Structure 1
Amino acid sequence: MKSTFSMTGASIDIPHSLQELPPKWAHFCLHIEQFVRDELFFELGQKKLVVAFSGGVDSTALLLCLYYLSQKNNGNIIAAHLNHQLRPESTDDAVWAANLCSHLGITYIQKDVDVASLAEKMGIGVEEAGRNARYNFFHSVKDDNQADAIAVGHHLGDLCEDVLMRLIRGTGWPGLSGMEGWDEKRKLFRPFLLTNKGKLEAFLSTIGATWREDLSNSDQAWTRNRVRCTLLPLFLKENPNFPKSIARLWKLGRIDKAFWDDFTAETPSTILHKTLESSHQAVRLRMYKAALDSIGKGQALADTLFKLDEAWQENRVGVVFQFPNEKTATITSSGVVFSSKH
């Protein structure tokens, strides 16, 4: 059955089950479930999920889609809302989010954080401080409620922006293909990653749902907003199908990452000469990185890996290369030895 939800004087009828949705949008939800299962290898059945819920179009669509699917799959969802206290309307956004969840019978958990003060205290940018606060909050909600995973509402437009930002930073392959759809370490997944934002807007509009607009998304003081408002439109002008190209790139990246992760899974901290001699440079570089990753945190720079491989080829025994987090690679007579002080 439908029931009325009112926040601004306008009465809104929101369906309460998958069966009440128009067929097109019921199929949309089922397609999202299929994407999560077949592409992200995550089953929604009987899962308790934390949904990152800001009240924007993407997170509202995510909340409702997973609300319908959780009923179908005997699961449960918890809405997690972080009030960043950065905008005058943020309190109204929180009230709106709480009321929508109350209307639908969804458990709602909110935390208020003065992100501007947090950024100043930590000596980092507001954007980074907000991101850290959000994900720390989501994980605390997950742990406190013994949930299975966290769902966030990144869509295809966000993936396009992410790829461009990684290109700007000089990220290598396959990281250049963009953010993970399923992050095993963080137990976090992105059901809408290959879905256009326009489809999310149409979904909400058709079923009578509204959302909150965050005007700070156009503030070009933040890197992501500059990419969204300036760079991405240029790419779309040159190639209107750019998002489809990024979706293909993402799929190829996932395939390549899965292959290399499996190939380098047993890479030892000492890679012997005979192994390096029988390997293509592409394989050697992957093994160097895998060995470094296995002994501690810290992202290895591609330039240093290239120099390491050059030193090995020239048999420069005794040369030591420094990597982040006090990790080292040393050329020895038997091969390359990786170590860490931590």
Structure 2
Amino acid sequence: MPALPADIPQTLQDLLPKWAHFCLYAGRFVEEELRIDLTGRRVLVGLSGGVDSTCLLLLLHYLSQRGDFTVGAVHLDHGLRPESGGDAAFARSLCERLGIDCTVESRDVARLAEERGLGIEEAGREARYKLYAQLRESGGWDFVALGHQLDDLSEDVLMRLIRGTGWPGLSGMAGYDPGRALVRPLLLLPKSTLAAFVSSLGIVWREDASNADPAMTRNRVRNEILPLIEKENPAFWQSVARLWRIGRVERDFWAELESGACEILDNSRLEALHKAQRLHLYKACLDRLGSGQALADTLFKLDSAWQERRVGADFQFPGRKTARIAASGVVFTAKH
């Protein structure tokens, strides 16, 4: 493992003006775009040792001194690669140099995947998010900060498009997930800028060789599909950022419509809505019943059946969820 440089800047004022402005931009994104005030809060960084999370840790470290909040880090060793011990050592060493508390834990992700019948990537994600939730509860952390950036967002948008996700979910992952207290300060910043920032500090981050494995859908999207799209439209990243912002505004708009009781949508409520609003409302009600993507074709069929008042018609959705046309409206149920 390459040694960390002896003179890592310790404060925002020690950075070159270009990189100080970079950090401040991310801070404004959290405060103004995501509407999160970090003052006096405790922020736990998910630190893999890759360039994204390394950049995030450094950036929040510099901003914390100006914004009066506390930064900690957690590294999870998935036990999947021989070099994973080096990743953990890097995380510990970097945090020690910055004066940041770092928790390092390990999980047998391969075993978890086998026991749960999951793919390795999904099992790893499940293990990480479970650990984040446990540490939030036991350590009193207000937020968990993740290093997803604009390239990740672009991949996410394409993967959602491939899966057939509708709008506004098609605009990509949330910048702030209040249910799990997840915040993504780097979401609209390109990976190349993050790498340039970390390199400017003389820090050599850890590379995960599994990111090149074509067996994983995300890697094929990243390494094969996205380069072709960028060749046709070099400004694709900016287009994704605009799409994300539009989606966020529309999510706020639909959230008000989708509030309230959802087990039964009575006819009087549905009759007052445009078809687009009804479709959004059906999906919101189904989403509340648990996991499983509500397919657009079935939602259209459901709405047609409601308009025709085909009482007794049943529609099955993934996750063992059902929508039934009743005399009073549409009834949603789930079997668990």
| TM-score using structure 1 length | 0.93
Among candidates 298, 317, 324, match of residue 330 of structure 1 = 324
Give the SS at the match of 2:7: strand
State which drifts further: 242-251 or 138-147.
Answer: 138-147
State which drifts further: 78-87 or 331-340.
Answer: 331-340
Q: State whether structure 2 residue 187 is matched by structure 1 residue 221.
A: no
Which residue is equivalent to 2:232?
238
**Is the 2:5–2:202 contact (alpha carbons within 8 Å) kept by the matching residues of 1?**
no
Which residue is equivalent to 2:9?
15
Taking the TM superposition and a 5 Å limit, the aligned residue runs for 1:258-273 are 258-273=252-267
Among candidates 302, 311, 316, match of residue 317 of structure 1 = 311
State which drifts further: 331-340 or 136-145.
Answer: 331-340
Which residue is equivalent to 2:68?
74
The CA deviation at 1:121 is 2.2
Change (3 A) 1:235 1:280: same
- Percent of pairs identical after alignment? 55
Which residue is equivalent to 1:250?
244
Taking the TM superposition and a 5 Å limit, the aligned residue runs for 1:62-101 are 62-101=56-95
Q: State whether structure 2 residue 301 is matched by structure 1 residue 307.
A: yes
Within 1, Cα distance between the matches of 2:64 and 2:258? Answer: 37
The CA deviation at 1:209 is 2.5
Within 2, Cα distance between the matches of 1:335 and 1:167? Answer: 31
Change (3 A) 1:164 1:150: same
**Is the 2:4–2:203 contact (alpha carbons within 8 Å) kept by the matching residues of 1?**
no
Which residue is equivalent to 1:4?
none
| TM-score using structure 2 length | 0.95
Within 1, Cα distance between the matches of 2:285 and 2:111? Answer: 39
> C-alpha offsets along residues 87-132 of structure 1, whole Å, 9 cap, x if unaligned?
1111111111111111111101011112122212222111111111
**Is the 2:95–2:101 contact (alpha carbons within 8 Å) kept by the matching residues of 1?**
yes
Within 1, Cα distance between the matches of 2:329 and 2:102? Answer: 55
The CA deviation at 1:208 is 2.6
> C-alpha offsets along residues 40-79 of structure 1, whole Å, 9 cap, x if unaligned?
1111211101101011111100000011111212211111
Q: State whether structure 2 residue 159 is matched by structure 1 residue 158.
A: no
Which residue is equivalent to 1:3?
none
The CA deviation at 1:297 is 4.8
Amino acid across the alignment from 1:241: A
> C-alpha offsets along residues 19-45 of structure 1, whole Å, 9 cap, x if unaligned?
211111111111101001111111121
Among candidates 36, 51, 62, match of residue 57 of structure 1 = 51
> C-alpha offsets along residues 285-317 of structure 1, whole Å, 9 cap, x if unaligned?
122223333455543222221111111122211
Segments of 5+ residues of structure 1 without an aligned counterpart are 1-6
Within 2, Cα distance between the matches of 1:294 and 1:245? Answer: 30
Amino acid across the alignment from 1:40: L
**Is the 1:55–1:97 contact (alpha carbons within 8 Å) kept by the matching residues of 2?**
yes
Amino acid across the alignment from 2:71: I
**Alignment: residue pair count:** 336
Segments of 5+ residues of structure 2 without an aligned counterpart are none
